[in-house]
Amino acid sequence: MLLLIPLFPLVGFVINASVGRRLTKSISGGLACAAMIASFAVSALLVSQILGHEAAPLEFTLFEWMASGTLRVPFTLRLDHLSAVMILVITGIGSLIHIYSTGYMHEESDSEYARYFSYLNLFASFMLVLVLGGNFPVMFVGWEGVGLCSYLLIGFWFRKQSAADAGKKAFVVNRIGDFGFVLGMLLIFATFGTLDFQLVAAAADSRAIEHGAIGVITAATLLLFLGATGKSAQIPLYVWLPDAMEGPTPVSALIHAATMVTAGVYMIGRNAVLFSHAPITLSIVAAIGAATALMAGTIGLVQNDIKRVLAYSTVSQLGYMFLAMGVGAYAAGIFHLYTHAFFKALLFLGSGAVIHALAGEQDLRNMGGLKKYLPVTYWTFLIGALAIAGVPLLSGFFSKDEILFKTFTSTNPYRLLLWGIGMVTSLLTATYMFRLVFLAFHGERRSAAHHDSHGHGHGHAPHEAPPSMAIPLIVLAIGSVLAGYVGVPHALGGSNRIEQFLEPSFAVTEARGRLEAGGGVQSTDAAGVVRPVAVQDSHSADAGESTHDNTSTELMLMALSSGVAIAGIGIAAFFWLRNRAAVNAMTARFRGPYTVLLHKYYVDELYDAAVVQPIKLLSTGGLWKGADAGLIDGAVNGVGQTVRSTSNVLRRVQTGSIRTYAASLFLGVVLILGWYLLKFR
Amino acid sequence: MVPLNYYLALSGVLFAIGTAGVFLRRNLITVLLSIEIMLNAVNLTFVAVGRYRGSVDGQIITFFVMTVAAAEAAVGLALIIALFRHRETLSPDAFTALKW
């Protein structure tokens, strides 16, 4: 049963990739959607079996993948509470985005359409392997697979130079992170002798927490975190994500907002025990998360491309998730991942509907006044924006407040600074999101007429999305409102069910016996029983009797962040709805900071100067002209040259005189015979 | 009965004369004749040793050598005629084109 979840999309991929060219759009698209929906149905069925707090994870071992010495890597899929949340997000939101894609990609030719859906299915399959993998190598298969699909889909319109470049950039930047991931994985194997997540957690738990010392766990988790920064677009490896917007918009929604980029967050959650034993790593994770959230938020404030604003918003929200992970609030991070998947997918799909309606226009400066043309898109987009801004009673509010509250009450020495950055980012989030809403949907239409010439030929009035696109928008909008209610905090009279639900995944399960018994070999029936001891110091401390003391703090923080969210919206309304002239005045006044933000802090230029150009220089000057042309070609040509000059000398021996040849022949025979005669006398 | 060594000595002398002729004579036809002398020196050795050992092997191989010598003379003379037509001389030193 467990195998069916990634298998359905894989079958969809195989069919669409092999015979998709000859299928009509409705068949190839329908097939891809059916595969996702089937996968979702199986996921829902299986998740319902493990809903209870004490329920054991489901396991399925396909085959023994690697067996060498003490290394035992079975191809194990494991469904526990954490992966349950993930597979529901992937298959559920994935299905909606597949359905949306059937409308969005309809302009493509049949074969391109099939190619698109085959990639999308392949992505879903790998992503499911990533979250279901029961050990590091299986997770790594998915990890690399989604990276490949991300590359293929960013560069889907590969005839466009910028799209091909963006795909390459994503691939190369991700390699840097993957390098860290592999090293971390190897270090874990060298230290603990196993790669199974549960066994690693159990083994790590038996060690002391590495307070203030850089031990082997700290090193391993830092390497893993490097992998996470690559995949989840955190400082310093976030640069690929904004460029990834060259891909089709549903791809941005699925891969670069809802699922793949959250893989790093998931990976930390999966190894929560390990990370909890490395407080230094956790502090770094929190710091990087907060810094990324703030930095991306400020950049998002001034960008003019609708998708780029959303991309920076994604980077910023991922920063929030890492902040949560870094302060040990794993459940809060996953909770935000889950709600973010809804509203960010919604926002991307909404922006896709806008781009679709305007025949490819992405520049906010050429939009405006779309509210009356695109009512469904407008209202759903507005709900998404309200949710991400953290307006009370929508999903983003619950998850974001949970993170801010956990940060505020964490044991991190810089918790107030981190919390402050979180609050500022929250303000920025509300502001840039509503800047987007007001610029795109309100005010006067500022269309650039020449854009209507290419594209659909639907005339000048923007057209509302077709039902295949509108329905996913509506479903996601409903989700964006309601998704947060699984995690209503205690302070508001809820019970924070998602946190309780996820808790077993972040604790050590009773896997010790198996560790001693059989190394990494797993049997399907020996599922772990949850041990009630939670390991996170910060998070389990306030789950106990101190809850009541925190209620008032939490309520106060909640009121504060709601106020911040509404203030952000107010700022946006003032500048971009009421008083556009003030924007120009502000940009004129703060020309310097504005230019820096518009150029994204010149990070791309910095990387270009610090990394790309030196590598180019080294490759051109050193490796190409020095090593290849100089050393290797030199050796080959040198051999030829030597033979030639030696022959020039030796050919003088050939006089052409028959007598000389005969004499040397005779002399040779005499010498050889003479030698034999003397020797065998 | 004449001892074997006498035959071998005669054969050596003939071979030396032939060799000297090959190296020293300035006429290709004489060179060819010198080669025949060398071959016959070898023939003499074969026959003498065959007789000494009481077997006919030496005589049999002599027939083969004579056959080869006849063929060689035919080919050699044909070549010499061709060369003479080409250069109007029979001196081996005139033909040095076989070089770099």
The string of pLDDT tens digits covering residues A135-152 is 999 999 999 999 999 999
pLDDT band at residue A448 using 50, 70 and 90 as cut-offs: low
Backbone angles phi, psi at A72, to 5 degrees: -125, 115
**Best residue of B17, B24, B99 to probe chain A, by most A CBs closer than 10 Å:** B99
Positive or negative, the Cα torsion across A507, A513, A515, A516? positive
**Best residue of A657, A669, A673, A677 to probe chain B, by most B CBs closer than 10 Å:** A657
Rg (CA), chain B: 17
Average pLDDT over residues A26-54: 91
- Between CA A135 and CA A241 the distance in angstroms is 27
* CB-CB under 8 Å, B22 with A651: no
Cα A191 to Cα A185, A519, A547, distances in angstroms: 10, 13, 38
Average pLDDT over residues A155-179: 93
Phi-psi region of A560 (alpha: psi -120 to 50; beta: other; left: phi over 0): alpha
Return the H-helix or E-strand segment holding A63.
Answer: strand A58-68
Q: Is B97 on the interface with A (CB under 8 A)?
A: yes
Contact residues, chain A, for B93 at CB < 8 Å:
657, 659
pLDDT tens digit string along A210-261? 887 788 999 999 999 999 999 999 988 999 999 999 999 999 999 988 899 9
Query: Are B45 and B7 spatial neighbours (Cβ–Cβ below 8 Å)?
Result: yes
pLDDT at A552: 85
Closest chain A residue to B19 measured between Cα atoms? A666
- Helix ranges (H only) for A193-305 are 197-205, 216-231, 240-243, 249-253, 263-270, 272-276, 279-300
Other C-beta atoms within 10 Å of A419: how many? 24
- pLDDT surpasses 60 at A537: no
Range of the domain at B40: 4-95
Contact residues, chain B, for A659 at CB < 8 Å:
23, 92-93
* CB-CB under 8 Å, A666 with B23: yes
The CA distance from B34 to the nearest CA of chain A, in Å, is 13
The CA distance from B20 to the nearest CA of chain A, in Å, is 10
Q: Is B22 on the interface with A (CB under 8 A)?
A: yes
- pLDDT surpasses 70 at A451: no
- pLDDT surpasses 80 at A493: no
Residue reference for tokens 């923007």: A462
Return the H-helix or E-strand segment holding A168.
Answer: helix A161-192
Query: What are residue A72's DSSP bridge partners?
Result: A67
Query: Are A329 and A402 spatial neighbours (Cβ–Cβ below 8 Å)?
Result: yes
Residue reference for tokens 């500048």: A575
Query: Are A464 and A350 spatial neighbours (Cβ–Cβ below 8 Å)?
Result: no
pLDDT band at residue A576 using 50, 70 and 90 as cut-offs: confident
Q: Is B23 on the interface with A (CB under 8 A)?
A: yes
Residue A121: both structure tokens together: 């299915």
pLDDT band at residue A636 using 50, 70 and 90 as cut-offs: very high
Query: Are A434 and A568 spatial neighbours (Cβ–Cβ below 8 Å)?
Result: yes
Q: Is B96 on the interface with A (CB under 8 A)?
A: yes
Contact residues, chain B, for A654 at CB < 8 Å:
98-100
Other C-beta atoms within 10 Å of A434: how many? 25
pLDDT tens digit string along A89-112? 999 999 999 999 999 998 889 889
What is the pairing mode between strands A58-68 and A71-79? antiparallel
Residue B100 lies in a domain: no
What's the full length of chain A, in residues?
A: 681
* CB-CB under 8 Å, B22 with A662: yes
C-alpha torsion A308→A313→A318→A319, nearest 10: 110
Backbone angles phi, psi at A79, to 5 degrees: -110, 105
pLDDT at A315: 94
Which residue in the set B22, B92, B100 is minimally distant from A654, CB to CB?
Answer: B100
Residue A3 DSSP label: T
Query: Between chain A and chain B, how many beta carbons pairs sit less than 8 Å apart?
Result: 26
* CB-CB under 8 Å, B95 with A666: no
Query: Are A401 and A339 spatial neighbours (Cβ–Cβ below 8 Å)?
Result: no
Residue B81 lies in a domain: yes
Residue B30 lies in a domain: yes
Contact residues, chain B, for A663 at CB < 8 Å:
23
pLDDT at A417: 93
Contact residues, chain B, for A650 at CB < 8 Å:
none
Q: Is B91 on the interface with A (CB under 8 A)?
A: no
Peptide bond preceding A236 in cis form (omega within 30 of 0): yes
- Between CA A572 and CA A289 the distance in angstroms is 25
What lies within 8 Å, CB to CB, of A279 at 6+ separation is A209, A210, A211, A212
Closest chain B residue to A662 measured between Cα atoms? B23
* CB-CB under 8 Å, A656 with B97: yes
Residue B90 lies in a domain: yes
Query: Are A137 and A148 spatial neighbours (Cβ–Cβ below 8 Å)?
Result: no
* CB-CB under 8 Å, A658 with B95: yes
pLDDT at A534: 39
Contact residues, chain B, for A651 at CB < 8 Å:
100
- Between CA A198 and CA B68 the distance in angstroms is 91
pLDDT at A275: 93
Residue B66 lies in a domain: yes
Contact residues, chain B, for A662 at CB < 8 Å:
22-23
The CA distance from A659 to the nearest CA of chain B, in Å, is 6
Which has more confidence, A310 or A658?
A310
* CB-CB under 8 Å, A658 with B98: yes
Average pLDDT over residues A48-54: 81
Contact residues, chain B, for A658 at CB < 8 Å:
92, 95, 98
pLDDT tens digit string along A496-531? 888 888 888 888 765 444 444 444 333 333 334 333
Residue B29 lies in a domain: yes
What's the full length of chain B, in residues?
A: 100
The CA distance from B24 to the nearest CA of chain A, in Å, is 9
Which residue in the set A654, A655, A659 is minimally distant from B92, CB to CB?
Answer: A659
- pLDDT surpasses 80 at A681: no
Q: If we measure between CA atoms, which residue out of A335, A320, A339, A389 comes closest to residue A562?
A: A389
- Between CA A135 and CA A520 the distance in angstroms is 9
pLDDT at A549: 61
Other C-beta atoms within 10 Å of A254: how many? 31
Residue B64 lies in a domain: yes
To 10 degrees, what angle do helices A375-389 and A467-482 make?
A: 30
Closest chain B residue to A666 measured between Cα atoms? B19
Residue B15 lies in a domain: yes
Q: Is B95 on the interface with A (CB under 8 A)?
A: yes
Query: What are residue A58's DSSP bridge partners?
Result: A79
Separation of first and last alpha carbons in chain A = 90
Contact residues, chain A, for B100 at CB < 8 Å:
651-652, 654
Q: What is the CATH number of the domain that holds B35?
A: 1.10.287.3510
- Between CA A97 and CA A283 the distance in angstroms is 36
pLDDT tens digit string along B40-91? 999 999 999 999 999 999 999 999 999 999 999 999 999 999 989 988 888 8
* CB-CB under 8 Å, A662 with B93: no
- pLDDT surpasses 50 at A543: no
Closest chain B residue to A654 measured between Cα atoms? B99
Rg (CA), chain A: 31
* CB-CB under 8 Å, B92 with A658: yes
Query: Are A433 and A313 spatial neighbours (Cβ–Cβ below 8 Å)?
Result: yes
pLDDT at A186: 93
Q: If we measure between CA atoms, which residue out of A560, A537, A541, A562 comes closest to residue A550?
A: A541
Residues of chain A whose beta carbon is less than 8 angstroms from a beta carbon of chain B are 651-652, 654-659, 662-663, 666
CA angle A566, A569, A443 (to 5 degrees): 150
Which residue in the set A652, A656, A666 is minimally distant from B96, CB to CB?
Answer: A656
Number of domains in chain B: 1
Which residue in the set B23, B97, B100 is minimally distant from A659, CB to CB?
Answer: B23
